[in-house]
Amino acid sequence: SDLQKQEERGELLQPLIFILLVLCSVLLYFKVSLMDPGFVKPEEEVKGGEDKGQGVVIPQIPGDIKLRRCGYCLVKQPMRAKHCQLCQHCVRRYDHHCPWLENCVGERNHPLFIAYLSVQLVVLLWGGHVAWSGLYFEQSQEWLQHNIFLLVSFLLIFIFTIVVLLLLVSHLYLISCNTTTWEFMSHHRISYLRHSELENPFDQGIILNLWRFFC
């Protein structure tokens, strides 16, 4: 049959991979949006050097900076944690609150958030290629009527691709510096950064920063 011939020629492999990528993207979206991003629990006792990966750099931070108690949820905040008023929780290694996910991006789901952006970028690039390959250009009203759907789809995919690409590149840059979006944007308002002798006391080099984040 035609289906068997297409399978033998490998023509069904690409659509299958594309569908699996879309499915993976959807699963990652729900995983990142529904999981605990690293909420600080009230019963947790915050001890010095508790946060993983910070023991090497904490001595570089002035000793007079003490862990403060959150004025909203009244928990003792670990270093690099921040209270999110939308989630009503303090989040460990807080990066930002994502309105598209309706969840914070923090210590626990940040790596999965990067994975989601990466898979989403591949899906968008593939979809953009498919939409572009289906277009043939002619200067006529009839051409526009027959190709308006593909043209609008390509333009939307192009816009979303630029947005996701910029998000992914910016996050990878911040990760390579071992800083977060919140720390980068509010450096002058954060006590442990404002009073530190180093511009970024958590930076341990690109390779070690990436290793600690992903591994």
Please list, residue by residue across 9-18, b when 16 or more beta carbons sit within 10 angstroms of its beta carbon and e when fewer do. Answer: eeeeeeeeee
Q: What is the DSSP string of 28-64?
A: HHHHHHHS---BPPTTPPP-TT-STT-TTTGGGS-TT
C-alpha closest to that of 18 among 126, 145, 133: 126
Active site residues: 98
CA 213 – CA 89 distance, rounded (Å): 22
CA dihedral 119, 165, 190, 63 (to 10 degrees): 60
Six-digit token pair at 98?
A: 């994502």
CA 41, distance to chain mean position in Å, is: 23
